Amino acid sequence: MTEPTLQPDKPAPSSSPREPKPRPRKPGGAGLRTWQSVLLGLVLLGLAGALLLGFCLVLLWPRLPDLNKVTDYRPDLPLRVYTAQGTLIGEFGVQRRAVIPYDQVPKQLKQAVLAAEDSRFFEHGAIDFAGVARAALADFGAGGAVQGASTITMQVARDFYLSPEKTPLRKIVEALLAYKIENTLTKDQILDRYINQVYLGQRAYGFAAAAQVYYGKPLSELSLAQIAVLAGLPQAPSAYNPQNSLKLAVWRQHYVLGRMLALGDITRAQYEQALKAPLNVLAGQGVLHYDVDADYAAEAVREIMVARFGEAAYTDGYKVTTTLVDTDQTAADAAVRAGLLAYDRRNGWRGPEGRVDLPENPQDATKAALAALKTRPDVGGLKAAVVLQVERKGVVVLRRDGQQETISGEGLAFCRPGLYDKATAARRIMAGSIVRLHALPKGGWEILQLPQAQSALVSLQPQTGAIQAWVGGFDFNHEKFDHVDQAFRQPGSSFKPFIYSAAVAEGLAPSTIIDDAPISINPGPGQPLWQPHNYENEFAGPMPASAALAHSDNVAAVRVVLAVGVPYARFHASQFGLPLDQIPPYPTMVLGAGSFTPLQMARAYAVFANGGYLVQPTLISKITDARGNVLYETTKQALGQPETPRIITPGNAYLMTRMLQDVIQEGTGAAAKSLGRTDLAGKTGTTSNFHDAWFDGYNHNRVTVTWVGYNQPRSLGNGEQGASVALPIWIQYMRTALNGDPDIPWAPPPDVVQIPVNPATGFASVGSYAVPNAKEAYFLQQYPPLDPSVVPGVATSASAPAAAVGTSGGQLTSGSGEPVTIGPPPSTRTPTPPQPGPAQNNAPFIVLPGAGK
């Protein structure tokens, strides 16, 4: 049933419905009502927004965090380690950060950051409403979020206090915090916090840290092109990271430069130049690069700091200044690498270090090669590369940076055995082989391989103990084991000087004659006889002690240790800072049967160089906190104080130095004469089966120890001695380290006398025993040379043949075998610390041939 309808006054026609007639309107009436509705809606929306803002202010404002983190800005700062010249060599911490004062930030960086992130920063308040409207229109037109509207102040609020999640509530809190920050800090202070706090990828926080990570330079040295790359990072540090995706980074850089041009920050010419400028981004994906390579020393400092300050060492901004010298450290690193490469060349090509399957398609092959090279960083200056082709004209390789090189001629000299058709599979070079490239002096590359042997070099000042160079291996990032202070290795003949020093304390002089003749020692019941032998199994007969040490005669050294007694010799050696428990209580100790680190050996040799004092090696000279307060500063060690005791007399140190000078002038260290100096002294060391090679040497101002060997001890190869393996490294380093140092002769101290002796016997050339070929020799004042007239068994005529004098079973004998020992035999002597000055009448002592009381 339908509802009844009212009939109009005038009936409608019976045909189609009538179209309604438009009602008359008042001019502008409908449009006015529309705008009124819109205006009303806006008013209501504004009121709602105001109510919401008020609600947020009431509920959230009291809960906002205080601004101490922003106002009293103390970011987590890493531990930084420097050389004595202030060169950064190490940085340790979860966050890589370098706070730079606002007035030191380059103007172009500020302009680039504002152009990229917030060009109206100095014009708007906490929120840029114009920017919000612009972003909203852009998002609406794109149908999604394509443009942000966060101001730099809002980003500071987020970086300091909020999580990166995007929720409405977080955005509201971010805006409120921004207002609070704007009411507390000036615009310059806000921009300062942003520049130092923002995350820029690769654990780098702040632009100063990012400059070091991506370019290895301070901000002040960056070009406009490089600055624009950094300014483009905050929006998406991972996507625009130039080490991972240079193409995207350049795209973003162009945007930043375009904005700077539009804003009038740079000219068209600057813009065009920056687009073409090289970026020189460092390879390594976040690996920090330093001007001075001292990773092993920096790691040693890190361990010391963590032991002292705990985890705070990584966050409290400590700065440690070491004693390392830039030029010395650089020279030491170069010498170790050159020495190991030279040794590796002598031992021949072993083969590629790996292989990768390359697809037939050239583009796919390049991608596969680059993927394989990502895990092969540079090691010790050797760059990883993948062989793409082996052709008649040469070997085509691809480097990690995508550059192809063709290696030919001289560049293939070392690896040529791997190119022969009959080469074994392990040695063969083919497409997909992973090899190492080394830069040739005249340009181009050669194919080498990573050395398997390792080396160490440590150099210190003998008067202060200050360590000036510390290299613990070929490359820290490849091998972190530090051979300077962690590798306990047998020192070989480089240990002999400490035993000779014990004998000097008992009367030995450089001119003392020692018989280099076969000797047999009974080590005990049921044990086979020990018959020490020399390197070439030859015996030279009677010779001066200086010659025996210079030529590293083993038999003569055994006779010396037997003469002074094993207990006393062992104790005397321990006074040089060599732990007693590392010195075996057997005669073999004189041949280096103990185990010591290069740092321990350097400290021990410093005693000879400084005139008899035991100094403490120091690596750290100063520690400051983040505010610059000095927490620790080393004081110069005063020789002769309790911390630097005298352990041998000046005369003992001088006589040992003269003998060690002979090692260089006429012995196993003769190659060091190429340095053209007269003030050098040292000793080679080679262990059994050539497992370890040493050279320990010094002058007045430097003690330097070099070592070469394998991590798991094995032979370096037949004939690879200290003189051929370790000494070249020492020479190369000392050539730089001693540059400019005066060549000062060693002056004899007051407790040393000079007396003519018969060079054949070592006895005084006096009276009827005077000889025409007498030589001036040096002796401790209390132990002048023996008068042959009072020595039993010596011929009564100066013209008679010289008697061979040597040792037997620890007792000194003349050539006829008659004992000439004065005082108790060695086995009954109690080891006591050597005392300076004349020997007391009741003190037990032994007189060696050619010297007497």
Active-site hit among 91, 117, 405, 479: 117
Angstrom distance (rounded) from CA 773 to CA 794: 18
Rounded to 5 degrees, φ, ψ at 717 are 125, 150
Q: Is 233 helix (H, G, I), strand (E, B) or coil?
A: coil
- 38 sits in the region (left: phi over 0; alpha: psi -120 to 50; else beta) called alpha
Angstrom distance (rounded) from CA 237 to CA 201: 5
Rounded to 5 degrees, φ, ψ at 132 are -65, -45
Which pair of tokens denotes residue 226? 């490089």
Rounded to 5 degrees, φ, ψ at 521 are -125, 130
Closest CA to 707 of 681, 689, 684, 732: 684
The DSSP symbol for 743 reads: -
Q: Return the number of other C-beta atoms located less than 10 Å from residue 54's C-beta.
A: 10
Angstrom distance (rounded) from CA 708 to CA 453: 7
Contact 325/87 with Cβ under 8 angstroms?
Answer: no
Question: For tokens 């190490």, what's the residue?
Answer: 90
Active-site hit among 150, 433, 493, 814: 493
Closest CA to 92 of 287, 302, 322: 302
The DSSP line for 453-514 is: SEEEEEEE-TTT-BEEEEE-SS-TTT----TTTS--B--GGGGHHHHHHHHHHTT--TT-EE
- Burial tier of 65 (Cβ tally within 10 Å: 0-12, 13-18, 19+): middle
Angstrom distance (rounded) from CA 717 to CA 721: 9
Contact 605/699 with Cβ under 8 angstroms?
Answer: no
The DSSP symbol for 524 reads: S
Q: From residue 301, how far is each of 89, 334, 570 by CA, in Å?
A: 11, 22, 32
Q: Is 8 helix (H, G, I), strand (E, B) or coil?
A: coil
Buried (b) or exposed (e) across 290-314, using 16+ Cβ within 10 A? bebbbbbbbbbbbeebeeebeeebb
Angstrom distance (rounded) from CA 157 to CA 60: 15
Angstrom distance (rounded) from CA 109 to CA 442: 39
Which pair of tokens denotes residue 321? 């200044």
Question: For tokens 């040792």, what's the residue?
Answer: 807
Buried (b) or exposed (e) across 229-260, using 16+ Cβ within 10 A? bbbbbbeebeebbbbeebebbbebbebbbebb
Angstrom distance (rounded) from CA 698 to CA 738: 10
Angstrom distance (rounded) from CA 556 to CA 560: 6
The DSSP line for 82-95 is: E-TT--EEEEESSS
**174-179-182 Cα angle (round to 5):** 120
Angstrom distance (rounded) from CA 74 to CA 478: 35
CA atoms within 13 A on the CB side of 315: 7
Active site residue 117: yes
> Between β-strands 806-808 and 811-813, what pairing exists: parallel, antiparallel or unpaired?
antiparallel
Contact 597/481 with Cβ under 8 angstroms?
Answer: no
Q: From residue 203, how far is each of 74, 198, 495 by CA, in Å?
A: 18, 11, 47
Neighbour order of strands in the sheet with 703-709: 467-471, 454-460, 703-709, 692-698, 681-686
Q: Return the number of other C-beta atoms located less than 10 Å from residue 437's C-beta.
A: 21
Catalytic residues: 117, 493
